[in-house]
A = this chain, B = another copy of it.
Amino acid sequence: MFHKPNPSSGIPIYRQLMDQITHAIETGAVRPGDQLPGIRTLAEQLVINPNTVVKALRELEHAGIVEIRHGAGVFVTQKKNYETQSTKIITAQPIAKKFLQKLREQGLDEEEIRRLIQSELIDSQHEKKHS
């Protein structure tokens, strides 16, 4: 059902697995309420360490994508709209957090940060056009 991650892609294996699972949900390959393969099963199929699988599933649980029931298995959450909270966003969140943290340490306030971001976004659009 899932395929082997590429260990030399630069993207952490657990993130690649997260992407595969969220993608499977988005495409409807697995549906809310469905049970996912067990941790050991996944680890064997994908030839990765069970702990890595655990890490991926734990992150997905924190994000509300799956539900881990002790002794029973891992299930896709019943709720809804993963569209708005795709893996990409989830992945980006901590990066943004650390970035803002750094800016604040530099002494920038909210307004200054907003202006900085906006101007950089505009710049990068221009660079795109000129390339």
Contacts and interface: CB of A to CB of B under 8 A. Distances in A.
Please give the count of copies of this chain that the complex contains: 4
A107 B3 CA distance: 27
B121 A92 contact: no
A6 to B, nearest CB: 8
A104 B128 CA distance: 13
A100 interface: yes
Contacts of A112: 26, 89
Interface size class of A (residues with CB under 8 A): 35 or more
6 contacts: A7-B70, A23-B119, A93-B120, A95-B103, A96-B117, A99-B99
B19 A126 contact: no
A115 interface: yes
Nearest to A122: B3
A73 to B, nearest CB: 13
